[in-house]
Amino acid sequence: MDETIPRKPYVREARFWSPVAGKPGYVRCDLCSRRCAIAPGRFGVCGVRKNARACNRRRP
């Protein structure tokens, strides 16, 4: 499973997320009302937001 964000110009570190208490590595996406708890390396329900371990691109 890919643990890093691919080096592509349209992929970057996300905003609007937080860690999930009691679930190490999980993140809570706060972008929409679905508020997915995303496991490491997996995508949210939308298929757009991914919980990647590391980001190799900088924010603009």
Shortest distance (Å) from residue 26 CB to ligand SF4: 12
DSSP notation for the chain: ---B--S-TT----SSEEEPTTSTT-EEE-SSTT--EE-TT-B-TTSS-B--SB--S---
Q: Which amino acid is at 18?
A: S
Nearer to ligand SF4, 16 or 56 (CB): 16
Least distance CB 54 / ligand SF4 (angstroms): 19
Q: How far is the CB of 46 from ligand SF4 (least distance, A)?
A: 3
Question: Which residues form the interface with ligand SF4 (CB under 6 A)?
Answer: 29, 31-32, 34-36, 44-46, 48-49
